[in-house]
Structure formats: C-alpha cells, structure tokens
Chain A
Amino acid sequence: KAGVTQTPRYLIKTRGQQVTLSCSPISGHRSVSWYQQTPGQGLQFLFEYFSETQRNKGNFPGRFSGRQFSNSRSEMNVSTLELGDSALYLCASSDGLAGIYNEQFFGPGTRLTVL
C-alpha cells in the first residue's frame, strides 16, 4: 500500500506571496491533518479534514487554510507569506474513524523557505 505523498518537497517563496501544498493520504484513509514543524516551536497542529469537512483546527491565523477533495486528497494554502512561515509542513493520514485508535502516518513533508 502506498504511503502518504506530499508535493512539492521543497519550495522557496518571497514575503507576501501565497503558496499551496498538496497531500495524498494512504488509500482508504479519510482523515488528513496538517502540521507545521519549526526548530523553535516543534510540531504544531494546523487543522484536520475528514470527508471534505474541517473537523479540528489549531491556533493559527486565518492566512492558513485548507480543503479536502472527495478523493481525500488535501491542499493547504498560506496567503501573504511571512518570514516566520518558513518551516517543514507535514501532512498526516489516518482512517479518521471515531475512537481512540487514531494512528497517524506522516508524509515526507514540504520544506517551505520564505525569503
């Protein structure tokens, strides 16, 4: 079974631009979560999508948004980029079913650098 894929793997943008990242979950998984990882803040939860609906949201500004398509693929968008948005953006896939057995599997990440 193929793992979680993310594109692009690396991205360089300048302040003020916007960016869209893509994530394809493991086949059969309906939940996709997005995380931002930086050396100073660690791994921080952005939001989770399940069956095309945002189910949970972390404490990030509205510049960070996402969506999920009917095939469970998800995109994350960051508008008006700031230097502090430079980070590794990770997508995690799970079956998303209610309950406590919510194992998440991570993709390889997208390394975003904002100049």
Chain B
Amino acid sequence: QKEVEQNSGPLSVPEGAIASLNCTYSDRGSQSFFWYRQYSGKSPELIMFIYSNGDKEDGRFTAQLNKASQYVSLLIRDSQPSDSATYLCAIYGQNFVFGPGTRLSVLP
C-alpha cells in the first residue's frame, strides 16, 4: 500500500464549479497535511496546510482533515481556468511524503 494516495485524474470541472480533490494516507502518526499546486514545467507552490481535524478556509480554498479516516481533501470554490494544474497532497510525520498528484482541468 502506497503511503499517500490520490486519484490521478484528470478531474474536469466547468468554470465556476466546485472542484473536490481527495487524499488518503497510511501513517497514523502524520502530524500535518499540505496541499501544493504545480503548473506544468514549474515547481510546486504551497496552497495551504492543516493539522487539526475539521475545515480550514483560505479564500476560495478549503482544506478538510479527518484523522480517524486518514483522509484529507481540498475544495476549490468558483473554479477558474487558471486553477488548472496538478495538485499534490503532502503528509508530514518524520519527513514529507507526497502523493502522486491529481490533475485538475477547469473548462471555460
């Protein structure tokens, strides 16, 4: 079993819709959870992190964490074509472990 799993996608949503990205992890000792966005040919950029169960909102982005289910998600409201990218889930315990990423395509 891989340590961090994500659907590879592509996930296609129409402009203005909510995009939902999911991530599961195997290490129950994981302490904090990060979402990165990576445009093609660029390096990952940090969107947000969460470390407590529940929701955390930052602008159009909401991260949701459920440690009992070992599940973290990212919601993007009012999706824009500029949100089209690969979204990487990263888990931090002893060190960072990244998921394979989900490719999101927002259609105009």
Chain A interface residues toward B at CB < 8 A: 33, 35, 42-45, 48, 56, 58, 88, 90, 92, 100-109
The complex places the Cα of A94 from the Cα of B100 at a distance, in Å, of 22
B18-47: which residues lie under 8 A (CB-CB) from chain A?
31-32, 34, 36, 42-46
The complex places the Cα of A26 from the Cα of B31 at a distance, in Å, of 24
Given the contacts A90-B43, A106-B43, A106-B45, A100 and B31 also touching, CB distance less than 8 Å? yes
What are some 10 contacts across the A-B interface (CB < 8 A)? A42-B101, A43-B88, A90-B43, A100-B31, A100-B32, A101-B49, A103-B34, A104-B96, A106-B36, A108-B43
Nearest CB of A to B54, in Å: 15
Given the contacts A56-B94, A100-B51, A102-B92, A42 and B43 also touching, CB distance less than 8 Å? no
Q: Does B1 contact A (CB under 8 A)?
A: no
Write out the residue numbers on chain B whose beta carbons fall within 8 Å of the beta carbon of A58: 95
Is B49 in contact with A103, judged by CB distance below 8 angstroms? Answer: yes
The complex places the Cα of A107 from the Cα of B44 at a distance, in Å, of 8
Nearest A residue to B8 via CB reads A42
Write out the residue numbers on chain A whose beta carbons fall within 8 Å of the beta carbon of B98: 35, 42-45
Write out the residue numbers on chain B whose beta carbons fall within 8 Å of the beta carbon of A102: 32, 92, 96
